[in-house]
Amino acid sequence: MGGQRRSDLHPDVEAMLTALEAFPDVTQHTAAELREIIASRRAPLAREPQMRIAQDRTIDGPGGELAVRLFVPHGTTGARPVVVFAHGGGFVFCDLDSHDEFCRSMAAAVDVVVVSVDYRRAPEHPGPAALEDMYAAVRWTAEHAVEFGGDPERLVVAGDSAGGNLAATVSLAARDRGGPAIAAQVLLYPVIDDDFTTESYRLYGENYYNTTKAMRWYWQQYAPHGTDSPYLVPTRAESLAGLPRAIVVTAELDPPCSSGDDYARQLAAAGVPVTAHRFDGLFHGFLTFPALSLTGQAREKLWQMMRDALAASENSPSAEVGGA
């Protein structure tokens, strides 16, 4: 790509961004080709950190069988909070394996059960198919959490990138459909909307791994008939009141950063308790790059925010969230 990157980046970030220039131009491939290319470049699964239980299960989804992967860490025997997790990948690629290490690390560090969801992907299944799969997984988790040491009263939804969109929209769906009750939503550099005119798109729309061109393509795959529904773009909701407390993490060098920051402000304005943190000098997806020297410290910050949110949710019943 043409153009220059900022000269003040951490050298390890600069090196990683240079390496990531080999990432395929998504607009030049079919979805099936992309999945194959990306999967072929993936290192073998390390299955670290080790879990007490790491198990694939199949549940009933709106489109048929829906795969989930269950992670239960070692340690305490009491009921743990349960995080229902949606992986990123532009709504088009990535899967349970791509985010296996991240889910394990979250489970171990935050001391939670994680249910990772293999939702249907676009363009074969345009939105809101992925959201409906996520909602089915949240309902299943609420009903079955006790079977694997989870506490259905402390149900969290989380996701990175496109998965952050799904965590945000499933929070809306659960509110609108009368449950299940969600204690917290964790949105990691979420893809909130399809506004490509924001400051972060203008500043970082190319040369920083995730691009405006790619984001346009992802939305075309996921929402070919437009984005009017709040279950595609959460800011289309008439109100954000009554949503679960939120952790919103953004990355400065990421085109969707401004929209994520704005969504945190909109949630707070609607009375939702929000913890927002922007990681300056970092790029989209960095939390799932454990080889990057800055990722470990950033993860520690995220894990602590999650622990704090869970502690706060225990002290304030869900009916209070959103100022209802």
The C-alpha atoms of residue 156 and residue 248 are separated, in whole angstroms, by 13
The C-alpha atoms of residue 52 and residue 268 are separated, in whole angstroms, by 37
161 among known catalytic residues: yes
The secondary structure of the chain, three-state, reads CCCCCCCCCCHHHHHHHHHHCCCCCHHHCCHHHHHHHHHHCCCCCCCCCCCCEEEEEEEEECCEEEEEEEEECCCCCCCEEEEEEECCCCCCCCCCCCCHHHHHHHHHHHCCEEEEECCCCCCCCCCCHHHHHHHHHHHHHHHHHHHHCEEEEEEEEEEECHHHHHHHHHHHHHHHCCCCCCCEEEEECCCCCCCCCCHHHHHHCCCCCCCHHHHHHHHHHHCCCCCCCCCCCHHHCCCCCCCCEEEEEEECCCCCHHHHHHHHHHHHHCCCCEEEEEECCCCCCHHHCCCCCCHHHHHHHHHHHHHHHHHHHHHCCHHHCCCC
Residues 6+ apart with CB under 8 A from 15: none
The C-alpha atoms of residue 298 and residue 279 are separated, in whole angstroms, by 8
- Please give the structure tokens belonging to residue 315: 């002290």
Q: What sign for the dihedral angle of Cα 105, 108, 112, 117?
A: positive
- Reference 92, options 227, 208, 217; nearest CA is 217
Active-site annotation holder among 105, 161, 171, 200 = 161
Show which residues are catalytic: 161
